[in-house]
Chain A
């Protein structure tokens, strides 16, 4: 009696393995993206907290103590993050005034992660002379 069952040929197994491997790659990429989103979410939360902190500190320091441009500087407690402050005098129409002092300052604070792939977070506000 002839046996019709010959099992899988090696070539068939290899083809299956290649196809399944391809689908795994897609699956692992999806997992990797989920992990990236979680890390990004955590970084944005920390950026937001640090921006809030720096805005409060700047406001508390008073109108006269904030002026000029401070290039990106690391937070001592969060060395992976940096902040910059840009303060300029503006007039009542919020136009920058370069050669005179006014009663208004426009402050822009920006917080970024050391890795350039993360977008900096910034906020702009006004301070007025009391």
Chain B
């Protein structure tokens, strides 16, 4: 009788611990997968913008750009733009695509903490309206946010067309 009670009590304690461990482990695993998916999406969106920012051919391309929108005039006469909207998303317009040329790149950003800035060679910020011809670097800062997940990607991009001259085949 005593042995049976001990067995029942042991099984109860062990069962409760097991359930708790499994529950926590599943939660951690699910959260880990969510985070990985979030980072992947943020990374691909960020590097797509960074890569295409380097295609800017001339300073005139900046005439329509702001701290929330950048317009890229490419060597092959196409126009690409990225706009951060107050609805916490980024839309991408690309004239290379003839039909539906505007698409939602991501809807997981914090608008207030995301921006384009335009810098000189010493990393000093420039006024895009009056000093666009002095731009050496474009700073891209995007705060991606999705529920509890948040990450800030902040990088500088050098527009090859401005600093090197003619766009060559080996440029990105």
Which residues does A use to contact B, with CB under 8 Å? 7-10, 13-14, 17, 20, 24, 27-28, 31, 34-35, 37-38, 41-42, 45-46, 49-50, 52-53, 56-57, 59-62, 77
* B21 contact set on A, CB distance < 8 A: 24, 28
Closest to A24 in B: B21
CA distance A31 to B10 in the complex (A): 26
* B119 contact set on A, CB distance < 8 A: 60
The interface bits of chain B over 117-132 (1 if a CB of A lies within 8 angstroms of the residue's CB, else 0) are 0010111000000000
Q: Of residues 2 to 48 in B, which have CB atoms within 8 Å of A's CB atoms?
A: 3-4, 6-7, 10-11, 14, 18, 21, 25, 28-29, 32-33, 35-36, 39-40, 42-43, 46-47
* B153 contact set on A, CB distance < 8 A: 45-46, 49
Decide if B163 touches A60 in the complex (CB within 8 Å).
yes
The interface bits of chain B over 46-74 (1 if a CB of A lies within 8 angstroms of the residue's CB, else 0) are 11001000000000000000000000000
> Lowest 6 A-B CB distances belong to which pairs?
A53-B155, A56-B156, A56-B158, A60-B136, A38-B36, A38-B32
Check A17/B29 contact, CB under 8 A, given A7-B7, A60-B158. Answer: no
Summarize A's interface: helix, strand, loop or mixed. helix
Decide if A20 touches B155 in the complex (CB within 8 Å).
no
Decide if B10 touches A41 in the complex (CB within 8 Å).
no
How many residue pairs at the A-B interface have CB separations less than 8 Å? 83
Check A60/B36 contact, CB under 8 A, given A9-B3, A27-B25, A42-B151. Answer: no
Closest to A57 in B: B156
Number of chain B residues whose Cβ lies closer than 8 Å to a Cβ of chain A = 37
* B163 contact set on A, CB distance < 8 A: 59-60
Closest to B123 in A: A57
Most-contacted residue by chain B among A20, A59, A60 (CB, 10 A): A60
- Distance in angstroms from B1 CB to nearest chain A CB is 10
* A60 contact set on B, CB distance < 8 A: 119, 121, 136-137, 156, 158, 163
Decide if B46 touches A42 in the complex (CB within 8 Å).
no
CA distance A124 to B42 in the complex (A): 26
12 extra interchain contacts, Cβ-Cβ under 8 A, other than A31-B28, A31-B29?
Answer: A9-B3, A13-B7, A14-B10, A34-B29, A35-B32, A38-B32, A41-B39, A46-B153, A52-B155, A59-B163, A60-B119, A62-B121
